[in-house]
Amino acid sequence: MSVLQALDIGLAFLIVAVAAWTIFARGAFAATVGYVVYGLLLSLVWIRLFAVDVALTEAAIGSGVTGILLIGAAARLRGGETAGDEKSLSGAARLLTAGLCILVALALAGVVLLLPDQGPSLAPQSMQNLAETGLGNPVTAVLIAYRSFDTMLEKVVLVLAVVGVWSLAADRYWGGAPGEARAERPEPTLAFLAQVLAPIGILVGVHIFWVGADEPGGAFQGGAILAAMWMIVMMARLTEAPQTNAFWLRLTLVAGPVVFLTAGVAGAIFAGGFFAYPPGFAKPIILFIETFMVLSIAVTLPMLVAGPPRREPRQ
Partner 1 sequence: MTSATLAGLVGAALVGLGLYGLVANPQPLRKILAFNLMGSGVFLVFGIVARKAAAAGLQADPVPQAMVITGIVVAFAASALAVALVLRLFEDAGQVTLNPEARTKLPDDGADAG
Nearest CB to partner 1, comparing residues 77 and 265: 77
Nearest CB to partner 1, comparing residues 38 and 186: 38
73 near partner 1 (CB under 8 A): yes
| C-alpha–C-alpha distance, residues 119 and 113, integer Å | 13
Q: Which of residues 243-302 bind partner 1 (CB under 8 A)?
A: 301
Q: Which of residues 80-139 bind partner 1 (CB under 8 A)?
A: 80-82, 85-89, 94, 97-98, 101-102, 104-106, 108-109, 111-113, 115-124, 126-128, 138-139
Q: Which of 19, 40, 193, 197 binds partner 1 (CB under 8 A)?
A: 19
| Nearest distance in Å: CB 276, partner 1 | 18
Nearest CB to partner 1, comparing residues 168 and 268: 168
Nearest CB to partner 1, comparing residues 74 and 198: 74
Q: List CB contacts of 89: < 8 A, sequence separation 6 or more.
A: 97
Which long-range contacts does 49-53 make (Cβ < 8 Å, 24+ apart)? 52/216, 53/137, 53/139, 53/140, 53/212, 53/216, 53/217, 53/218, 53/221
| C-alpha–C-alpha distance, residues 129 and 122, integer Å | 11
| C-alpha–C-alpha distance, residues 79 and 88, integer Å | 18
**How many residues make contact with partner 1 (CB under 8 A)?**
95
Residues in the chain: 315
CA 90 to centroid of chain Cα atoms:
36
3 near partner 1 (CB under 8 A): no
Q: Which stretch binds partner 1 (CB under 8 A): 164-172, 179-187, 240-248, 260-268?
A: 164-172
- The radius of gyration computed from the CA coordinates of the chain, to the nearest angstrom, equals 22
Q: Which of residues 31-50 bind partner 1 (CB under 8 A)?
A: 31-32, 35, 38-39, 42, 45-46, 48-50
DSSP run (H or E) holding 149? helix 148-166
